[in-house]
Amino acid sequence: MADFLEIRNLSKNYGIVQALKNVSFSIVKGEVHALLGENGAGKSTLIKIISGEEAPGSGSIVIDGKEVRDFSPAHAMASGIAMVHQELAVFENMTVGDNIFPYANFLSPGGFINQRRADREAKSLIDMFGINISPRQKMDSLTMGQQQIVEILRCVSAGKEIILLDEPTSGLNQEEVKKLMEIIRRLKNQGITVVYISHRIDEIMDIGDRVTVLRDGNYVGTYVNNSSLTEMELISRMVGRELSGTLYSARTEDGIATEEVVFEVKNFSKKNSVTDISFALHKGEVLGFFGLEGSGTNTVSRMIFGLESADTGELYLKGQKLKKISPDALVSSGVMYLNNNRKNAGLLLNSPALDNLAMPLLKELSDGFFVNRGKMSSHAEKYINEFNIVIPSVFQIPRNLSGGNQQKLMFSICMGKNPEIIIINEPTRGIDVGAKGEIHRFILELIKKGLSVIVFSSEMPELISLCDRVMVMAKNRIFGEVLKGDISQEKIMAGAAGSAAGGA
Ligand SMILES: Nc1ncnc2c1ncn2[C@@H]1O[C@H](COP(=O)(O)OP(=O)(O)OP(=O)(O)O)[C@@H](O)[C@H]1O
Ligand SMILES: [Mg+2]
C-alpha cells in the first residue's frame, strides 16, 4: 500500500522544550496507526501539526503526494482531517446535535438549516454507539463519558480522510470503549485512516495495525502489530529500558489498616439516584469503588465530598458527625478530593505552576504579610521532582503542559494540603504506564504515613494493585465488597454485573 501521510524530519520547539526532534515516518491509507509514548513524549504535538493547529519548526508533511504548505485548521479540515482533543472541547450550552455538526451544511434551498435532517443524521450516529441520548438534549445534561462520545461523533462526521484521536477513551467506561473500537473498525472498512493515541496498551494491541513509538520527542520506531509483538516489548521501547515482571500486580504488601474508623457514611439516599449507601474507611486503608456506568459510583464520589447533596444520610469524621456536608467543611477537616475532570478541577491553567502548587498553602508559605517566593519555589520543586513532572520551569503555565503532566500537577496540588483523607476519582487518567506505577507506589507510601484513601476507578487492575477492599456498586446500591486476597477481575466483575457470586 502506498504511503498516504508522510511525516518528514519534523521538529518543533516550545522555547527550550524540544517537543519533536527530527521525526520521520509514514502512515498508510486506511490503517489504524497508534502512537505510543510516555507523558510529554510529543504525541499530541505531532497530531496538532497534522491537524494544522500548530506549525512545525522545521520539516514537512506530505498528504497524498502533496506537501502541506498552509498549516491551519481550515486547510486541514478542507483536506478531510478531523481531530478529537485530549481535553473535552464540547460546547456545553449547545445541543448534542449542534455539537456533532457544528459546521453543518444542512441548508435548505431557502438558506435555512434543515433541522429535521440534521437531527436524523445525528441520531443515526448516536445509534451506532447505542447510547441513550437525543440530538436535542443540552450538552451539560450529559455525563462526561457521553460528552466525550459526542466529541468523537463530531470528528467522525467531519473526518472524510483522516481522523486523529488523542486519548479518546480516557473518559469512557468499558462498554463505551468497546463501542468506539467497533466504530473505528467500521471507519477503517470505509477506507478512513485513523491515528490513535492511548496510554492503554491493550487497546492499542486490539485496534492498531501499526504502532509508532515516540520517546522524548524522538522517533523510536514503527512496529507491525502481529502476533510476535508483545506489550512488554512496546513498553520497553517506550521507556527505553527493559522492564521486569508485570506492570500491575496484586498488592502484596501487608495491609496496615487499623480498626480506627476515620470516615463513615451512613445511609446516603437520594430520590431517583443512589440508595442506602453506607460504608466505613479505616485509618491506613485504601478503599476502592467499582461500578459500571450508571451504577452510581460517580454520584457517590461527589456526594461524599459535598459536591452533590443527598436527601438523607450522615457523614462522620473520626466519629464526629459533620453538620454540613460541604467541600469547605471537608477540606478544613483534612479531606481532599481529586477530580476526574482536569478542566473543572481547580487547575489555574494560565497561572504558573508555582502559584498552582502554592495555592493551598499560601498561609504556610508566607512571612507575615508577604509571600515568600523562595519557600514557594522550593515547595513547588519538591513536588515536581517527586512526581517527575516534565516542566521547563516552575513558571510554566499548566495549559502548556502535556495531559499527563497536568494530571501529575493536580495530584501534587492535592498533596500540598497535607490531607489525612484523600478521595481520588480516576487517579491515573491520562498517565503513562510507567508513571502509573509511580503514582500507585506514592499512594501506598501515603498510607504508611497514616493517611487513608478512597479510590474510584474504572480500571480494575488499578483497584487490584491498590486496594485493601473494593466496594462494588450496581443499580445505584452497594452490592457487596471484595476483600484483599480475594480481589480479582472475576470477583469484582461478578459483583458489578449484579450477580450473587460477587456479593459479600
Ligand atoms: N504550547 C506549549 N508551550 C510550551 N510547551 C509545550 C506546549 N505544548 C506542549 N509543550 C511541551 O512539549 C512536550 C510534548 O508535549 P505533548 O503534549 O506533545 O506530549 P504528549 O506525548 O501528548 O504527552 P501526554 O501523554 O502527557 O499527553 C511536553 O514537554 C510539553 O510540556
Ligand atoms: Mg498528549
Strand order in the sheet with 320-321: 277-282, 261-269, 312-317, 320-321
Q: What is the pLDDT of residue 176?
A: 80
Strand pairing report for 81-84 and 162-166: parallel
Per-residue b or e along 278-288, where b marks 16 or more CB atoms closer than 10 Å to that residue's CB: ebebbbbbbbb
Check if 3-239 and 246-334+419-504 are the same fold: yes
Concatenate the DSSP letters of all residues of 238-292 into one string. HHTS---S-S-----SPP---S-EEEEEEEEE-TTS---EEEEEETT-EEEEEE-
CATH 3.40.50.300 fits 246-334+419-504, yes or no: yes
With contact defined as beta carbons under 8 Å apart, do 277 and 478 qualify?
A: yes
Nearest-CA residue for ligand 1 atom 3 is: 400
- CA 498 to centroid of ligand 2, rounded, Å: 36
User: Tens digit of pLDDT per residue, the chain (504 long)?
Assistant: 567 899 999 999 998 889 999 999 999 999 999 999 998 999 999 999 999 999 999 999 999 889 998 999 888 988 889 888 877 666 667 777 777 776 445 555 555 566 777 788 888 888 877 778 888 888 888 877 788 788 888 888 877 789 999 998 877 777 788 888 988 998 898 889 999 999 988 899 999 999 999 999 999 999 999 989 998 889 889 888 665 545 555 566 666 788 899 999 999 999 999 999 999 999 999 999 998 777 889 899 999 999 899 999 999 999 999 999 998 899 889 998 887 665 555 667 777 888 777 776 666 666 666 667 777 778 788 888 888 888 888 888 888 888 788 888 888 887 777 889 999 988 887 888 877 887 888 888 888 888 999 999 988 888 988 999 999 998 899 988 988 878 887 887 777 776 544 444
Nearest-CA residue for ligand 1 atom 19 is: 40
Fold classification of 3-239 is: Rossmann fold (3.40.50)
- CA 282 to centroid of ligand 2, rounded, Å: 37
- The bound ligand whose nearest atom lies closest to the alpha carbon of 49 is 1
- CA 94 to centroid of ligand 1, rounded, Å: 30
Strand order in the sheet with 421-425: 335-338, 421-425, 452-456, 286-291, 469-474, 477-483
Structural domain boundaries of the chain? 3-239, 246-334+419-504, 345-418
**Cell 462494588, residue?**
472
Torsion sign (Cα): 47, 52, 54, 55: positive
What ranges make up the beta strands (E) of 104-161?
A: none
With contact defined as beta carbons under 8 Å apart, do 134 and 185 qualify?
A: no
Q: How many CB atoms lie within 10 A of CB 229?
A: 15
Ligand 1 atom nearest residue 432's Cα: 25
Torsion sign (Cα): 389, 390, 392, 397: negative
Nearest alpha carbon to residue 411 among 400, 421, 422, 401: 422
CA atoms of 239 and 85, how far apart (whole Å)? 24
Q: How many CB atoms lie within 10 A of CB 72?
A: 13
| Contacting residues for 129 by C-beta, under 8 A, at least 6 apart | 149, 153, 176, 179, 180, 183
Residue 315's DSSP bridge partners are 265
Q: What is the pLDDT of residue 2?
A: 64
With contact defined as beta carbons under 8 Å apart, do 308 and 277 qualify?
A: no
CA atoms of 177 and 30, how far apart (whole Å)? 21
CA atoms of 233 and 242, how far apart (whole Å)? 8
- Residue 307 CA to chain centroid, in angstroms? 20
Ligand 1 atom nearest residue 46's Cα: 18
- CA 212 to centroid of ligand 1, rounded, Å: 17
- CA 367 to centroid of ligand 2, rounded, Å: 38
Ligand 1, residues at Cβ distance < 6 Å = 14, 17, 19, 37, 39-45, 86, 390, 400-405, 432
CA atoms of 70 and 43, how far apart (whole Å)? 21
CA atoms of 382 and 248, how far apart (whole Å)? 27
Ligand 1 atom nearest residue 214's Cα: 21
With contact defined as beta carbons under 8 Å apart, do 170 and 196 qualify?
A: no
